Amino acid sequence: MPVPHDLLADLHLTADAFQALIDQDPALHKLHKDYNATDKQVLVAERNGTSDEAINRLRKERLLIKDQIERIVHPPAH
């Protein structure tokens, strides 16, 4: 059965800590909304028997958004 990704676990953040970051950064807030919308699309596609190609495309899109979120939340050290 399809299960949504736990973004907060992947980011090693509590819901409160992530919410505080979102409240301070409109770009992060938009990315989070985009991530959630794409995650829902993945779940629907997995449940509906959508082609593997389409599901993989959605998963890649979700991963790209997660990577953008990760760079904001945990910026690389210089």
Q: Residue 10 and residue 8: Cα distance in Å, rounded? A: 5
Q: Residue 72 and residue 29: Cα distance in Å, rounded? A: 11
Q: Which two tokens stand for residue 37?
A: 């919308």
Q: What is the pLDDT of residue 1?
A: 57
pTM: 0.90
3-state DSSP assignment of residue 41:
helix
3-state DSSP assignment of residue 51:
coil
Half-sphere exposure of residue 64, counting CA atoms within 13 Å on the CB side? 8
Q: Mean pLDDT, consecutive 10-residue segments, the chain of 78 residues?
A: 82 96 97 97 93 96 97 90
Q: Residue 15 and residue 9: Cα distance in Å, rounded? A: 9
Q: What is the pLDDT of residue 62?
A: 97
